[in-house]
Structure 1
């Protein structure tokens, strides 16, 4: 599990190089049912109340492409924070 968590972390490293410091990450999906997974993956991550995070992200990107949302920052009004870890 730790190996997977470190691999996920390695995805963030190039993002930080390009976009700058990441203040928080929102997570969703079935793995959130496991407190162990959530603990391993998070120090300062926010957990979404909606477990369908991948589909939610796809919808947001579709709305941006269709011009219904300006950018991902505008989508924050749709996110419900379940808990902060």
Structure 2
């Protein structure tokens, strides 16, 4: 997405690139980092029961969590561990 990689001597960020990045940062600042809903709506007490939630399981993340838990139970030191998840076949 966006423009091709800049060539030698071309600027890495154009004025338009910077404007889009700043606009995105402004939008993200106004949203809950967990659910992504706008703070002005989500934090309004009048909206306390205005939302519904659906629990979904990411099977890739669940596999990583199980492997990490297994490693920890076996006495492995998890500090600095990152889980790499790939899909079989």
Common fold: TM-score over 0.5: no
Name the larger-Rg structure: 2
Structure with bigger strand share is: 1
Structure with bigger helix share is: 1
Greater RCO, 1 or 2 (C-alpha within 8 Å, sep 6+): 1
TM-score relative to the length of structure 2: 0.27
